[in-house]
Structure 1
Amino acid sequence: MLDATQRIGRIKGSQQLGGISGSISMDLSDGTPFWSFQPDFLFRHISGISPVPVVTISASAVTWTYSSPPKSNYIYPITGWLFWGVY
């Protein structure tokens, strides 16, 4: 049952993230932007030191970069799907 006092999100796009930074221009001015990241895995190495995507979203673009791990050994960035939209 839909409560008319709630908002429903609309997915406007998605992108498979492969461990490198990127950006997509997108008009998200018709609502409040949101994003969700669904990882393919949590950790590929037992150390658990895996760079995660850092997402920034605005009314005109979705941008992601990867955090820097504390060590340079066994760097396996967390890959997965990034979804964004408005509600």
Structure 2
Amino acid sequence: MTAGLQIWNASGQLMLDATQRIGRIKGSQHLDGNGGHIDMDLSDGTPFWSFQPDFLFKHINGNSPVPVVSISSTGVVWTYSTPPNGDYLYPITGYLFWGCY
């Protein structure tokens, strides 16, 4: 028997069908403004990631490098974008989550 979630609207039209793919969170990491990586076997599905920032802008100058994430079947790598100048840097920190569908 198939398991999952299906949602229909009042007209009986299927709005959401999650019986095929359900994401499984495999790990998380708080990003502090420095690049890094985590080696992990993500070969049992299609890898995905999501970043939840602590803030969007911390200073009026807007010099806030964002994380650039790369994911593959062997792990997760993140770096930070190059800012326009090196003065008053406020990298966007937050939580990175990853997993597989």
Q: Same fold (TM over 0.5)?
A: yes
Provide Cα deviations, 1:26-73, integer angstroms capped at 9, x if missing partner: 000000000000000001111212000000000001000001100111
Structure 1 outlier segments of 4+, above 6 Å: none
Distance across 2 between alignment mates of 1:76 and 1:48: 8
Q: Does 1:17 align with 2:40?
A: no
Distance across 2 between alignment mates of 1:32 and 1:80: 23
In 2 relative to 1, CA 73–9 (structure 1 residues): closer, same or farther, beyond 3 Å? same
The structure whose RCO (Cα within 8 Å, separation 6+) is larger is 1
- Select the residue among 61, 66, 69 that pairs with 2:80: 66
- Select the residue among 16, 30, 53 that pairs with 2:44: 30
Q: Matched residue pairs, number? A: 87
SS of 2:44's partner is: coil
TM-score calculated relative to the size of structure 2? 0.81
Q: CA deviation at 1:6?
A: 3.1
- 5+ residue gaps, structure 1: none
Distance across 2 between alignment mates of 1:60 and 1:54: 17
Give RMSD over aligned pairs: 1.3
- 5+ residue gaps, structure 2: 6-16
In 2 relative to 1, CA 4–66 (structure 1 residues): closer, same or farther, beyond 3 Å? closer
